[in-house]
Amino acid sequence: MSGRPAPAWARAALPAAAALLAAAATLGAAAATAGCHEASPDTVALESGTGERAAKTAGAWGAATAAPVAADDVKRVLYAPPSFAALAAAAAPSVVSVFSAAVPEGRERFPFGEPLAGEGDDARWARGLGSGFVIDADGDVLTTAGVIEGADLVLVSFHDGSEQEAKILGRDRATDLALLQVKPRADVRAMKLGDSDKMEVGDWIIAVGNPYGLTRTVTAGVVSAKGRSARDMDVGDVPTRADFFQTDASINEGNAGGPLLNVEGEVVGVAAEVDRGRGIHFAVPINLAARVAAALRAKGRVDRSFIGVLTGEVTGGVADHYGLPGPGGAIVREVLPGSPAEKAGLRMGDVVLEIAGKTVGDPAALARLIEVVPAGKTVELKVVREGKARTVKVAPVPLPDRLD
């Protein structure tokens, strides 16, 4: 270059250019610290308040955050999404494939092999395919009830390809969960169960299973929503008591019964055999699944209580009509004849706001709170009838297998 002095316009621009270069260097260093080469728009996280969740994530995955850049009252933090390779490798030995078969009448029982075609003597084996995972040192395996429906024989296939015939300890229609038992293996550890109540919408979630028989398949997504019910899923013959997660982590045929993990590698859900398509999938929260598993291990069944009401959601319009401060609670749409609710004097149109001092947020919450009350124990319901609050005492009874 020549020794001629720079033009005046260039000299005026030098301070601004230096500032831009310094900012770019700072961002580049932050990206390098985060383990990425370039911070794309989808690597920007928003954290408000103290940023404790961001710090926790950073601690779990290394130095994954850069210095926050102030933007109004929101802190913008650059981060690199973690790799799930270590979680997948650790979970693989504990996740199993579950196969089931029904022996055709009059034929000898034998373990699988090629399915038989035709009818009569040539009747085909009825087969089920799903996933499961080991939950304790006794060899208990949690899976979906649908895959073993009507089964005479259940096989569990491990990560090394070996198989064991499994004993069915119990199944629960309301949550579509089942508990199996196999002989414990030294190389198969029990998976650690997390706390599904701590999961938040937007948290990472990793599904491990065997879709279409493709073993050791891992998919990832986020918790898309919580508290989904059968009505939200808009499909027939689904569990009625489960408080589902919704997730966009891919869960295909054969994945049902497999674990959903958080970023600490803990199980926070069980993949459900429900798929609305277009990337919308569901899972039973592990806190509920663990209670079901404990009951199946102890009794082979899950005891639930009910009072005999069909309820609906209290929307803003319903709340205005009944003079309530806002949405919430469960409105009684029908009282079953001869039920505890009828005997207690509950009426159609009553709005249930509390049970035993606990707030009823929606109809699903009312069912969950009632089902854990011991049958025969009297509890108080706080209801609103024709704009006036009152207390109703009711004693739940065991929930029958089917409500006619």
pLDDT value at residue 103: 64
**Residues with Cβ within 8 Å of residue 160, at least 6 apart in sequence:** 187
Cα 250 to Cα 207: distance, rounded to the nearest angstrom: 7
Over residues 131-151, the pLDDT tens digits come to 999 999 999 999 999 888 878
pLDDT value at residue 70: 46
Backbone angles phi, psi at 321, to 5 degrees: -65, -35
**Residues 200 and 225: beta-carbon distance below 8 Å:** no
**Residues with Cβ within 8 Å of residue 273, at least 6 apart in sequence:** 130, 144, 146, 147, 176, 256, 257
pLDDT value at residue 323: 82
pLDDT value at residue 399: 82
Backbone angles phi, psi at 388, to 5 degrees: -115, 135
**Residues with Cβ within 8 Å of residue 336, at least 6 apart in sequence:** 308, 309, 310, 342, 403
pLDDT value at residue 111: 45
The length of the chain is 404
Cα 336 to Cα 237: distance, rounded to the nearest angstrom: 21
pLDDT value at residue 345: 94
Q: How many CB atoms lie within 10 A of CB 17?
A: 10
Cα 202 to Cα 262: distance, rounded to the nearest angstrom: 11
Give the CA dihedral 30, 35, 38, 42, nearest 10 degrees.
Answer: -100
Instruction: Single out the residue of 288, 289, 259, 270 nearest to residue 95, CA to CA.
Output: 259
pLDDT value at residue 100: 86
Instruction: Kindly give the parts of the chain with pLDDT less than 70.
Output: 1-81, 103-127, 229-242, 274-278, 401-404
Instruction: Single out the residue of 356, 357, 354, 358 nearest to residue 329, CA to CA.
Output: 354
The CA angle 370-323-347, to the nearest 5 degrees, is 45
pLDDT value at residue 158: 92
**Residues with Cβ within 8 Å of residue 304, at least 6 apart in sequence:** 174, 241, 371, 372, 398, 399
DSSP sequence for 255-304 = -TT-EEE-TTS-EEEEEEEEEEETTEEEEEEHHHHHHHHHHHHHHSS---
Backbone angles phi, psi at 58, to 5 degrees: -65, -40
- DSSP secondary-structure letter at 84? -
Summarize the chain as % helix, strand, coil (round to 5). Answer: 25, 35, 40
Cα 183 to Cα 165: distance, rounded to the nearest angstrom: 9
Strand 153-157 vs strand 177-181: parallel, antiparallel, or unpaired?
Answer: unpaired
